[in-house]
Amino acid sequence: DCGQPLNVGSDEMVTINQLVRAVAEIAGKRIECRHIAGPLGVRGRNSDNRLIKQKLGWRPSAPLRSGLERTYEWIERQVRGAPGAGAVARGPGAAAAQTVPAQSHEPDHVGAERRGAAVA
Tens digit of each residue's pLDDT (9 = 90 or more) over 12-32: 999 989 999 999 999 999 999
H or E segment at 66? Answer: helix 64-81
What is this structure's pTM?
0.58
Beta bridge partners, 14, equal: 45
Packing angle, helices 16-27 and 64-81, rounded to 10: 50
- 112, with CB counted inside 10 A (0-12, 13-18, 19+), is middle
Instruction: State yes or no: pLDDT of 7 exceeds 70.
Output: yes
Predicted confidence at residue 18, as pLDDT, reads 93
The string of pLDDT tens digits covering residues 59-108 is 888 999 999 999 999 999 999 987 765 555 454 444 443 433 334 444 44
How far is C-alpha 45 from the chain's CA centre? 13
On the CB side of 88, CA atoms within 13 Å amount to 17
DSSP 96: S
